[in-house]
Amino acid sequence: MSRSVGVLRPIESRNGPRPQCRHKRLTTVEFMTAPLLVLSGPPGSGKTTVAALLADRFARTAHVLGDHFFRYIRSDWKDPSLPQAHEQNGHVIRISTRAAAGYAAAGYTTILDGIYGPWFLEDVQSAAGETNVHYIVLRADLDTSLARAAGRVRNDAGHQRDPEDLERMVRKMHADFDQLAQYEKYVVDTTRSTPEEVADTIVYRFEAGELLLP
């Protein structure tokens, strides 16, 4: 039996419909397995800020930071933005997803935030097992993403990052998420919305069943 959070009624705003109870935790009932919300997007899209807000919208939650799993690699770590890191990235994607799905199996509505591109969704769904996976891609325009990411002086392994490398990485990852074909329907634009407004939109679409992966 899965969690029921009740239907939220939309209200009108300049950013489109959003739920009325934007600052209240959603009412929940007991269940065996809770949903897993995978919050993806390029650097500077607002993932971690929005994920923390989403975690406050449910009565029993876990917020899993996927990027932290890269820090557990002590040797042979590769920059995740480089082509030669694809195998490593796949391992980390599966490991972090299994960890997040473990929280969901324990009854926590779980928000997993990190760079989980559509090219890794098969691995995500396989690692999640029987857990229902809801997918969200946050995306801002390139200038906004660069400005937001400018202060991030450490990479996923916690090491000092060169500013030029950072800009290169942001530009590359932004391009990777620019055109997502059938996955565009999971995109939420964060360029001009506040984190609270973005969280409102996600909750509304989650309740409407629009974010559930097939």
Q: What is the CATH number of the domain that holds 144?
A: 3.40.50.300
| CB contact at 8 A, 60 and 106 | no
pLDDT of residue 157: 52
Determine, yes or no, domain membership for 22: no
Rounded (10°) angle between helices 47-55 and 195-207: 60
Please enumerate in sequence order all residues whose Cβ is within 8 A of that of 99, keeping only pairs 6 or more positions apart, or say none.
64, 69
Domain count, the chain: 1
| CB contact at 8 A, 170 and 42 | yes
> pLDDT tens string for the chain (214 positions)?
333 343 333 333 334 555 444 445 554 444 457 999 999 999 999 999 999 999 999 989 999 999 999 999 999 999 888 899 999 999 999 999 999 999 999 999 999 999 999 999 999 999 999 999 999 999 999 999 999 988 665 555 555 667 888 898 899 999 999 999 999 999 999 999 999 999 999 999 999 999 999 9
Q: What is d(CA 182, CA 167) in angstroms, rounded to the nearest whole number? A: 28
Can you give the residue range of the structural domain that contains 47? 33-69+77-207
Beta-strand pair 10-11/18-19: antiparallel
Determine, yes or no, domain membership for 94: yes
| CB contact at 8 A, 111 and 54 | yes
Determine, yes or no, domain membership for 18: no
Q: What is d(CA 112, CA 164) in angstroms, rounded to the nearest whole number? A: 28
Determine, yes or no, domain membership for 9: no
Determine, yes or no, domain membership for 14: no
Determine, yes or no, domain membership for 114: yes
Determine, yes or no, domain membership for 4: no
Q: What is d(CA 24, CA 68) in angstroms, rounded to the nearest whole number? A: 29
